[in-house]
Amino acid sequence: MNAVGILLAAGRGRRFDPLGVRNKLLQPLGSGEPVVVASARHLLSVIPRVIAVVPPQDGGVADALRALGCEVTLCAEADSGMAASLVQGITCSLPQADGWLVALGDMPYVAPATLRALLAALEEGADIAAPVFKGRRGNPVAFGAHHLPALLALTGEHGARVLLRSAPVAEVAVNDPGILRDIDIPADLA
């Protein structure tokens, strides 16, 4: 399998900062590492090719991700919703990719073991694999080539949520609360 990591980092983070002054993805975690850098570093630790999707005006996110070794693509349609970013990332991975591990730039606490488990589920034949912690499904999500047409047809602000509701999903049990923990407001950084 030739899976590619897709790091979605094109959101505006309006709940974090309604005025748009502070980019949540560049805020330091307790370790001092920016949110998006931690998210990308974990993804890169398990998959060699990561395509990061950022908005045209990103405040330095693209530079930080390129420095780590991510391929970066600018999504001019980022404000239309998460689906545009997802489609952009997947399109940039073609024709080589036949699977995608889709992670969110504001989820820096996902353990590399979880990422490896999702990739393993794809390799074992799952068309979609999602992690589950204590009965709750979280992110990231892995998609196989079977769903490429549906992924490329996505629109709107909810990304692949409609696909996750309409297609069979292999739930991968993990001992990782990070799959449920994102950075939405400043208090989430603590």
Task: Give me the tens of pLDDT residue by residue for the chain, a chain 190 residues long.
Answer: 899 999 999 977 677 877 777 889 999 998 899 999 999 999 999 999 999 999 988 788 999 999 999 999 999 888 888 889 999 999 999 999 999 999 999 999 999 999 999 999 999 999 999 999 999 999 999 999 999 999 998 887 777 888 888 899 999 999 999 999 999 888 888 7
Are residues 97 and 3 in contact, defined by beta-carbon separation less than 8 angstroms? yes
First to last CA, the chain: 38
Are residues 26 and 16 in contact, defined by beta-carbon separation less than 8 angstroms? no
Judging by beta carbons within 10 Å of its beta carbon (0-12, 13-18, 19+), is residue 146 exposed, middle or buried? middle
Query: What does pTM read for this prediction?
Result: 0.94
Give the pair of three-digit tokens for residue 190. Answer: 């603590």
Query: What superfamily would CATH give domain 3-182?
Result: Spore Coat Polysaccharide Biosynthesis Protein SpsA; Chain A (3.90.550.10)
